[in-house]
Structure 1
Amino acid sequence: MRKIGSFLIVVVLFSACSSLQVASDFDKEVDFKNYKTYNFYENGLEKLEVNGLDKKRIMAAVDTEMQAKGFTKVEKPDLLINLVVMKRNRTDVYDNGFYGGPWGWRGWGWGMGWGPFWGGGMRTTDRYQEGMFIIDFLDPKTKMHVWHGRGDGFNLDSFKNREERINTGVKEILAQYPPQQ
């Protein structure tokens, strides 16, 4: 029973580590009901440090979510959307906790068990670039930020289900817009 319980705890912890952590902030003096149209901030897109495929995917995901919220994309919008991707190197080390001899400490208690016989244990290391997606809304009339959303914890090196993960990440970030005032 202890082994099963410990295994389930590890699975829950690993699944929690893989999810995006989202947060947002906004100008409390702005009436967000006045915003109906949007477009991308061109200067920001030029500085976006992702490959062309991911840039296209992120913009498409933002378009989908904004249109689902009732916004229209126009040339002279009420809101400009600035996109930023920040990167940092990350190393995760996983250790199974099996140490000791055939009658030694096994990580979960004394006695016989499976695993390496004299010390060691299995350790794996995962190195990758982790990213933070930032979506800022700017008011072109006042030239001020009015809303800031971010999602932290995106594995930028994984190509598995990449488009789906980008869509989900953008959706989670933009779920916090409009802010609850």
Structure 2
Amino acid sequence: MKTVKTLLMLCTIILALSGCSSLRTASDYDKNVDFSGYKTYNFYDKGIARVRLNNLDKRRLMAAVEAEMNAKGFTKSDKPDLLVNLVVVAREKTDVYGPAYYGGWGWGWGAGWGWRGGWGSPFWGGGPGYVNQYIEGTIIIDFLDPAKKILFWHGRGSGFNLDNLNKREERLYTGVREILAQYPPNVTASR
């Protein structure tokens, strides 16, 4: 029985950790801008200089953006229609799992079937808690119009574990792809 409890707790922790690793994306844009006029891009040098990543990850992030921009039909140019500004914001995160509040559907004392909950292990047996501390990053991708000197599109992805080195390059590419999937915005649906 103790083995079953241990396996169930391990599965719960794995599910909880895997649920925390997904990137949450969002975007915003200037509704008065005609996006069809933008065909060429380059990076905003002042913004790139301030990106708080090591040089290896900075190059990976830029390569991921270049790959996605090229896939969208943009051409990199010395006189671009748009400048890509990159920002990475990092903050400390702490996730605490069990022994804590538990609950679920089941038979409750005098209440019949329904929601029940209380304090303790999710598997009715106490046990150690689990604490996961890491640095969570938010990747921000801004598109700037150098002629008008305006920001016209803003995309971000939150939830990137900056401490995890496992498949880091792949996760950066996936994250950038998910953020830039929102460009160009569906302008006709929003007007």
TM range (shorter): 0.7 to 0.9
- How far off is 1:15 after superposition? 2.5
Aligned letter for 2:60?
Answer: R
Give unpaired runs (5+ residues) of structure 2: 102-119
For 1:163 and 1:62, the matched residues in 2 are separated by 12
Change (3 A) 1:8 1:157: closer
Give secondary structure in 1 for the equivalent of 2:157.
strand
1:166 aligns with 2:191: no
Give secondary structure in 2 for the equivalent of 1:29.
coil
For 1:51 and 1:86, the matched residues in 2 are separated by 13
1:53 aligns with 2:59: no
The 5 Å alignment of 1:84-123 reads 84-95=87-98, 107-108=122-123, 119=126, 121-123=127-129
After TM superposition, where is structure 1 displaced by more than 2 Å over at least 4 residues in a row?
3-16, 105-109
Aligned letter for 1:60?
Answer: A
Aligned letter for 2:91?
Answer: R
For 1:171 and 1:145, the matched residues in 2 are separated by 20
The 5 Å alignment of 1:19-168 reads 19-95=22-98, 107-108=122-123, 119=126, 121-168=127-174
* 1:10-33 Cα deviation digits (max 9, x unpaired): 655432211000000000000101
Coordinate RMSD, CA, aligned: 2.5
* 1:142-166 Cα deviation digits (max 9, x unpaired): 0000100000011111111100010
Aligned letter for 1:61?
Answer: A
Count of matched residue pairs? 165
Higher strand share: 2
* 1:81-118 Cα deviation digits (max 9, x unpaired): 000000101111121569xxxxxx86456xxxxx5xxx
Q: TM-score, normalised by structure 2?
A: 0.78
Give unpaired runs (5+ residues) of structure 1: 99-104, 110-114
- How far off is 1:122 after superposition? 1.5
Say whether the 8 Å CA contact 1:91–1:127 is kept in structure 2: yes
Give secondary structure in 1 for the equivalent of 2:165.
coil
Q: TM-score, normalised by structure 1?
A: 0.83
For 1:106 and 1:145, the matched residues in 2 are separated by 49
